[in-house]
Amino acid sequence: MSQQAIQSEVLKVLAERHSVKEYQAGHKMPKEHLEQLLTSTTQAPSSWNLQHWKFVVIEDQAYKEKLLPIAYGQKQIVESSVVIAVLGDLEANKNYELVFGPLLEAGHMPKELYDNLAGQVEGAYKYPQVARDEAVRNASLAAMQLMIAAKALGYETCPMGGYDAARFVKEFNVPERYVPVMLISVGLPAKPARPSGRLSLDQVTVANTF
């Protein structure tokens, strides 16, 4: 495929992704699609490559029913193929050795750089607000990547911030290390997404400075 064709396909996926709230109930996503979706999601960028995310993959209908009242009865919870709860990692600094240790051992990263970056990370994570900001920011990057990957695989999605996060933490046994960021329903649409307007570039951009 030519570069122009790839560009066209990518831009088409971006243009055609819309939030869909009505799904073909009962559809089960093939395992290989779900694995590809999650693999593509984890290829999102993140600060220091610490990969500040955890995903609760909710496929079982009983757990969807459990989630339904937590999400204030939004029917896409139970009708979609899968709901993915995107969590941010408040202790992503603990991933440092997992991410960079193999590079150091293989000789792909100098010890001086390894130690320098480790110092940066630990210095930043002394501040709880930094840890929380990084958790939400980087998990959100992964969430957007998930929705684009789903569209490329032929699925529709809907990101949801309207749910009781504290209740979700309690009823789904989420460790204190993680903060809920959003829920994303994924499935085959029962009907096309409604058109949505967008503000013009003049309304949302500023050239160089205010």
What does the buried/exposed string (b/e) look like for 94-126 if buried means 16 or more CB atoms within 10 Å of the residue's CB?
A: ebbeeebeeeeeeeeeeeeebeebeeebeeebe
How does DSSP classify residue 107? Answer: T
The answer on pLDDT for 6 being more than 90 is no
Distance CA 36, CA 58 (A): 16
Q: 6 lies in a domain?
A: no
Print the domain residue range for 26.
18-204
For residue 66, tell me if it sits in a domain.
yes
Digit-coded pLDDT (tens) for 158-168: 999 999 999 99
Instruction: Please say if the pLDDT value at position 1 is more than 80.
Output: no
- pLDDT tens, position by position, 18-60: 999 999 999 999 999 999 999 999 999 999 999 999 999 999 9
Total number of domains in the chain = 1
Look at residue 11 and tell me if it is in a domain: no
Tokens encoding 172: 């789904």
Provide mean pLDDT across the span 4-26. Answer: 91
Instruction: Establish if 3 belongs to a structural domain.
Output: no
Predicted local confidence at residue 157, as pLDDT: 98
DSSP 92: G
Query: Which of 154, 145, 115 shows the shortest CA–CA distance to 43?
Result: 145
Residue 49 included in any domain:
yes
Residue 33 lies in a domain: yes
13 within a domain of the structure (yes/no): no
| Domain assignment present for 12 | no
Give the CATH number, domain containing residue 164.
Answer: 3.40.109.10
The band of 102, judged by pLDDT with boundaries at 50, 70 and 90, is: very high
DSSP class of residue 28 equals: -
Determine the Cα–Cα distance for residues 99 and 51; give it in Å rounded to an integer. Answer: 9
